[in-house]
Amino acid sequence: MSHEPEHHPLNFPFTTRKWLSAAILMIAGALQTLTLSPFYLWWLGPLSVFMILLITVNQAPEKLFRSGWLVGLGLFASGASWIYVSISEHGNTSIPLAIALMVVFIAGLALFHGLAFWFWGKLTKSSAPRRLLLFPAIWILSDWLRGWLLTGFPWLYLGTAHTDGPLGGLAPITGVHGITFWITTTAVAIYGAWWLTQSGRKVSASAVTVAALLPWFIAPALKATDWTELGKEPLSFAAMQGNIPQQIKWDPDFLRDQIVTYLGMTEPYWETDLILWPETAIPIPQDQAGPVIEHIREKLGENSTLITGIPWYGYSSQTEDYTFHNSIMAIGKGEGMYHKQKLVPFGEYVPLEGLLRGLIGFFDLPMSSFSPGPKDQSPLASSGMNITPYVCYEVAYPDFAAINARNTELLLTISNDGWFGDSIGPLQHLQIARMRALETGRYMLRGTNNGVTAIIDHKGQITERIPQFQRAVLTGEFYTATGNTPYMQTGSWPVLTLALILIVFVRERVIPAN
């Protein structure tokens, strides 16, 4: 049988011009970055996907890998090029080499889109209607795969834009992947309705349009629904943003000064219910920080807890050796130590360490020899409440965050986004934390070295924040929460299962010739 895509009324001349179609695909990818912080143009999401469909729905299967890769290139070049700051400014790498490494990083991430579109073409070689039906499923599975393969890069998901968009009400039910699924479904429905209209089937086109737009009107009402129950009394909170320059963060000559800085900033707040210092605010391992920890215990009020980032060094039963962890600990009225599980490649560990160490400065960053913490760690505790901690990058993993948040009353994340300077990376990171609060119906307390330090409520809205790149203290109140949202109960599995069902039943079945 023929494998040429069938003709339909939505063929456009520009789809046959390689340079123009390539430009449109890259622009479509870049528009997705504009849906996210700090731009918040969430309505560009369906438009971006619609532009992609204009080029790809009728494209020959062998061309779809290139098309998908170009979409990914536009997305990651616009949305993740902040990696250059950490490579160049903090990795002691020359500008040409830093640019080359950034390009490799972006081009490599774009392969996820390329492979997804290639798979899409393999499943539907000749049927445009089938391609339309399968597109949301392929997109979601690609996002999910990118979120865990090779430690994962769960960043720049379309659904994250709806912390401030109308589909945000779906977050406690379906999670971020469910929102992304409906964004792509909306674009498919608009394309399909246009096609049906051109074919004279206006009634069918109207029905498809109504079905696609319905969740956009229902979801805002769902956002007002309380899936969890907040505590009746607020608790006081103070977070210290030290704004320690990254260049001196691990310099032995400045370690004592950093600790003194945080102690001085905390002096008026020792009686606060919960005090938060950022990632590795105590820049020496816990086995050497005994006097500092004891001093904090002595200063804290009777009902106060201080939670801080601190490296941990000791014997690990997991590795059966002495190892470093990037950790967070509770002191005072609280207790517990949590070791970060999701490590950042090259920043916290070096893949293929034996081959790469020593080649360039970027492969020898300070504290890039951490080991991942064990699974199923206990939450931190403070004055009878259980707290789910996330260290930096961990908050970007939606299912990981939701599962760990079960049966705890508060979310807390610490970070040091100084690696990314004055780029959009830290602002994207903040929005991701907001989505986790919205998905779980819990307050998220966020402490960072140089911003953005914030209190995020159970609806994903920021109630208090302090500016970036300032040494300042954030104060405010938060509430605990009980109960689990539907998304916390199921994770992304309902959406992923739906995607797999679509693939199984909609894919094109090629009948072999006799």
Active site residues: 279, 340, 392
User: HSE-up of 126 (CA within 13 Å, CB side)?
Assistant: 8
- Indicate left, alpha or beta for 151 from its phi (over 0: left) and psi (-120 to 50: alpha): left
3-state secondary structure of 300: coil
Burial pattern 58-96, b for ≥16 Cβ within 10 A else e, equals bbebebbbbbbbbbbbbbbbbbbbbbbbbbbbbbebeee
Q: CA torsion sign, 123 to 185 to 501 to 127? A: negative
Q: For strand 385-391 and strand 410-415, is the pairing parallel, antiparallel, or unpaired? A: parallel
Assess whether the previous peptide bond of 452 is cis (omega < 30° from 0): yes
Beta partners for residue 239, in sequence order: 276, 474
How many CB atoms sit inside 10 A of residue 351's CB?
11
What the block records as the tokens of 436 is: 């986790």
What the block records as the tokens of 20 is: 């123009």
User: CA 179 to CA 185: how far, in whole Å?
Assistant: 10
**DSSP assignment of 302-362, as one string?**
TT-EEEEEEEEEEEETTTTEEEEEEEEEEEETEE-EEE--SPPBTTTB-TTHHHHTTTSGG
How many CB atoms sit inside 10 A of residue 149's CB?
10
Specify whether the CB–CB gap between 189 and 135 falls below 8 A: no
